[in-house]
Structure 1
Amino acid sequence: MRKSYLFTSESVSEGHPDKVADQISDAIVDLFLSKDPEARVACETLVTTQKVVLAGEIRGNGIMDRDGNWAEGVREEIEAAVRATVKRIGYEQDGFHWQTLDFANHLHPQSAHIAQGVDASGNKDEGAGDQGIMFGFACDETPDLMPAAIDYSHKILQAMADDRHDGNAPFLEPDAKSQVTLRFEDGRPVEATAVVVSTQHAPGYDEGEKRDELHSYVKSVVAKVLPEGMLTEKTVFHINPTGTFVIGGPDGDAGITGRKIIVDTYGGAAPHGGGAFSGKDPTKVDRSAAYIARYLAKNIVAAGLAKRCTIQLAYAIGVSQPLSLYVDTHGSGTVPDDAIEAAIFSIERLGGLTPRAIRTVLNLNRPIYEKSAAYGHFGREAEGDHFPWEKTDLVEDLREALEG
């Protein structure tokens, strides 16, 4: 790979319309998994001016039967979860308000033909919920073992959102985007050459002293997030470069589940198989296999086996065994890549990376997903039930498998 170059990644806030849709979809996943850990969920969300629309296929005990009959009270719980999510994000605007928005629920039963291929029966193990390729990645650019540009982009917006929720930045509104360009020398990030932050704001913060206050605030947040020395006198800031940003969120632009897959993963620093995560229960390998791939890649780097690692997995719908496992340490590995592949399959508790084994290893059949739907699914702190794919508890297993 090149030693000297510029690389850019972007992030969007929890109030970005596509992220509002992602969080609503995952709030529904969490609601259904809390009722039935084996629930099947494929929930898509559309948000626009004063409207939220749900559509998709579902199945689960205490939720909906195969004929499309809702369990008592569930429809009301769904609407309550939607409104609570919008309220938590902070939308109480004329164009999008948690309390007064119009809500439509078009969820319906899962296709019986999909169910017969995915469900375990007789001697048949649970199959993958769909075909596809999934990637995981880790590198040693940051303590989170994430690519630096996306890591910093996420953390800028997370810090701004925390200040907004805490009342420390009352001029901020929920919708925002960030973008960080880094200069790399000898493959390491050494300088931020450009930082872009566009944030929805209260009226009046686009000119004069209030504009200066907003710009000064954003620069102070960036300075706290980026490591010492990364900002220099050459760093170019673009803060709200279009000027006024009062109308935002779903009122400014429609949002749909699954449109920010690069923001959700590695900011373009690694491949993406194309599948979105939010709104899907963990039998869908778009989600669960991407999580286990990140888990494997992160543990490989954490074990000192490589400085960079890309994992690819491939599945066929209804088939339990992965079609392929590919490990690429980009020339940074301390052992051959094919030896790492063999080690992964030799670790008994990984169960051959079947869909059910993945769900068991990471304990994914829990309502843990709404928290992942903003500020990236990866590079987050594994705490309590959340982000189990960020744990580094496979390090010793990998080392022992390679020694054996």
Structure 2
Amino acid sequence: MRSEFIFTSESVSEGHPDKVSDQISDAIVDLFLSKDPEARVACETLTTTDRVVLAGEVRGQGMIDTEGNWAEGALEEIEKAARDTVRKIGYEQDGFHWETLTFENHLHPQSAHIAQGVDESGNKDEGAGDQGIMFGYASDETPDLMPATLQYSHQILRQMAEDRHSGKAPFLEPDSKSQVTLRYVNEVPVEATALVVSTQHAPGYYKDSDNPALYEELRDYVMGVFHSVLPEGFITENTVIHVNPTGRFEIGGPDGDAGLTGRKIIVDTYGGASPHGGGAFSGKDPTKVDRSAAYITRYLAKNVVAAGLAKRCAIQLSYAIGVAEPLSINVDLHGTGTVDEAKLEEVLPKLVRLTPKGIRTHLGLNKPIYGPTAAYGHFGRTAEGDLFTWEKTDLVDQLKAAF
């Protein structure tokens, strides 16, 4: 490893058009799972000026029957879930308003050919919902065992969203992005070399407006957020800071740029610090290993680091559609491990059965728990009750005992 380097990650807020789409898709997943824990959902969402469009494949008791007929009130519930999501984010703008937007639902029954490969039947175990590769990662550079650049990027925007919702920062609108660049020495972050926030704002809060004091109020507020999130001493006189560098940002969200489910997968995972398998999470029920296997690999990697077996850990799994057992497992400790990686590859599958059903059972994934995952990252969150169970470190003692 290089003794010194600079690394950057970005995040986007709950009001970013792609994140609006992710949250709507996961609201539909939660709706179906609340009716039927074995529901199948693959919901894609398009958001654009005053319009939300759903498309995908679904199955679930209480929502749609095997003949493809919608249950009474199901279509209304789907539309309400979408509109409520937009309302909670805070969009009541001329170009995108939760109450007046046009809503289109093009969801349809899941393919019977996919179902026959995935469902349990007779002696056949439940198979993976698709082929693919999934990665999990953990690093000891933050208490949550996440890359610091991404964790701080998320925290900046979460603080801004909380202040917007509470009324503390009434000049903020929902759409925003952040970017954090840190200098690392011996793999430890020591300094912020650059910080960026671009946020949608109320009229007048931009550079070169008729009232320059409004932009200064916005900039001072963002500077305060930077200082509250980053460790003391990280921001120095050499830190390059940009707040709304393009200038005016009054038109934003889906009115300013179309949004699609699954376009922010690096924001969702590790900010570029680890490989990504390519599959998105939001809008997918937990039989889809794009989601569930990404969660279990994070869980395993986090437990490896929490057990002190490595400072950094990346784990890859691979699956074939309709096949229960993973085709491969790879552990990479990035030269920071105190144990043999091949030994870990033998031990980990003995601690958790890595079939789709085994993963769902171990982590309790067949529940309506996905709405909170769809903004500010799926990882580095606090495990609480049924939420974010993949962030638990309850395998630490077993891992230590194995070595």
Structure 1 residue 327 corresponds to structure 2 residue 331: yes
Q: Which residue of 2 aligns with 1:358?
A: 359
Shift of 1:345: 2.2
Pairwise CA RMSD of aligned residues? 0.7
Counterpart selection for 1:214 from 215, 218, 227: 218
Shift of 1:2: 1.8
**Alignment: residue pair count:** 399
Q: Which residue of 1 aligns with 2:310?
A: 306
Residue type at the aligned position of 1:298: K
Q: Helix, strand or coil: the match of 1:291? A: helix
Q: Helix, strand or coil: the match of 1:145? A: coil
Residue type at the aligned position of 2:16: H
Q: Which residue of 1 aligns with 2:389?
A: 388
CA contact (8 A) 1:6 1:183 kept: yes
Structure 1 residue 401 corresponds to structure 2 residue 397: no
Q: Which residue of 2 aligns with 1:71?
A: 71
Shift of 1:301: 0.3
Shift of 1:380: 0.6
* In structure 2, distance between residues paired with 1:401 and 1:269: 28
Residue type at the aligned position of 2:50: Q
Alignment of 1:163-178 (within 5 A): 163-178=163-178
CA contact (8 A) 1:29 1:280 kept: yes
Q: Which residue of 1 aligns with 2:112?
A: 112
Shift of 1:211: 0.2
Shift of 1:304: 0.4
- What are structure 2's unaligned runs of at least 5 residues? none
Residue type at the aligned position of 1:217: Y
Q: Which residue of 2 aligns with 1:125?
A: 125
Shift of 1:185: 1.0
Q: Which residue of 1 aligns with 2:239?
A: 235
Q: Which residue of 2 aligns with 1:198?
A: 198
Q: Which residue of 2 aligns with 1:288?
A: 292
Q: Helix, strand or coil: the match of 2:138? A: strand
Residue type at the aligned position of 2:113: H
* In structure 1, distance between residues paired with 2:370 and 2:226: 28
Give the % identical residues: 74
Counterpart selection for 1:266 from 270, 273, 289: 270
* In structure 1, distance between residues paired with 2:324 and 2:300: 19
Deviations 1:291-345 (A, max 9, x none): 0000000000000000000000000000000000111111111111111111112
* In structure 2, distance between residues paired with 1:74 and 1:345: 40
Residue type at the aligned position of 1:196: V
Residue type at the aligned position of 2:34: S
* In structure 2, distance between residues paired with 1:220 and 1:153: 14
Q: Which residue of 1 aligns with 2:368?
A: 367
Q: Helix, strand or coil: the match of 1:31? A: helix
* In structure 1, distance between residues paired with 2:355 and 2:399: 18
TM-score (norm 2): 0.98
Residue type at the aligned position of 1:311: I
* In structure 1, distance between residues paired with 2:238 and 2:294: 37
* In structure 1, distance between residues paired with 2:293 and 2:2: 29
Q: Which residue of 1 aligns with 2:347?
A: 343
Alignment of 1:128-167 (within 5 A): 128-167=128-167
Q: Helix, strand or coil: the match of 1:356? A: helix
Shift of 1:67: 2.4
TM-score (norm 1): 0.98
Alignment of 1:76-115 (within 5 A): 76-115=76-115
261-270 vs 332-341, greater mean Cα deviation: 332-341
CA contact (8 A) 1:346 1:401 kept: no
Shift of 1:186: 1.2
* In structure 1, distance between residues paired with 2:242 and 2:263: 24
